[in-house]
Structure 1
């Protein structure tokens, strides 16, 4: 099996599992890849999956993080209104 066919097989497997690369995730969230790395170090940002040294994300985990961020913002706004 050639290197190209191994890479192609890995790509198809990754796509079938719904795994997104850091670059793909960064584009979705409109941030830099380095921002994702910083967030991981700070335990912020979307949950990720690590396979070996590679880091991946999934759309459901990204959506979960977006929803939580939105809810946190709404809660903060409510608290500010109540405090005023």
Structure 2
């Protein structure tokens, strides 16, 4: 992915998970990478000018960030 920001996420527990990407538990515009050492790294999804949040959303079924209007249940991500 391009144009993303990452940061360590020591609060996320990768124990028992395979290395890979996982949905963020609270923010659909972010996702968690559990690396080969099972360290958690939080990533922001790339910008999306058509999204009410300004960012793409992580689609776990596609294992990637997708435009807001292509995300299943995108309306659930609207911020009040």
The structure richer in helix per residue is: 1
Please confirm whether the aligned pair reaches a TM-score higher than 0.5, indicating the same fold.
no
| TM-score normalised over the length of structure 1 | 0.28
Higher Rg of the two aligned structures: 1
| TM-score normalised over the length of structure 2 | 0.29
